[in-house]
Copies of this chain bind each other. A is one copy, B any other.
């Protein structure tokens, strides 16, 4: 989890306040979890982290806070059939690497491809098309520890 003093956490706090929302201790902890460096946590993972500081927190509060931040455009929801993940650092769509073995999700920088995707999005028959580009494979760590599977 991030420190409450992290730049991104401070930014989220400021924007919540600016939008007329309150800052509870639970919320602050959720913000810290969402702004984590290794990010893309699940609601369950955020819940577990927050619970370490606030044993009485409920999952509903985690979902409520995420919903608020989503509406403000400060959190990107990555929907997966295995459970959604959240990115509280970069809320604009960007490509990801998804490990089908351990579930790890990494950002990947592919600027040229990103531009091509964005350009294509502007010329589709669907209005206001938002792209989603993910790559599903085996991460380096899993490749070593589980050498015989999924290769």
Contact = CB atoms under 8 A, between A and B. Distances in A.
Number of copies of this kind of chain in the complex: 2
Interface of A: 79-82, 84, 97, 99, 108, 110, 112-113, 116-117, 120-121, 124-140, 143, 150-151
Contacts of A130: 135-137
Nearest to A82: B79
Contact of A127 (B81, B126, B134, B151): B151
Complex A-B, nearest 3 residue pairs according to Cβ-Cβ distance, in ascending order: A126-B137, A129-B137, A79-B81
Contacts of A124: 97, 108, 135, 137
A110 B99 contact: no
A63 to B, nearest CB: 13
Contacts of A137: 121, 124, 126-130
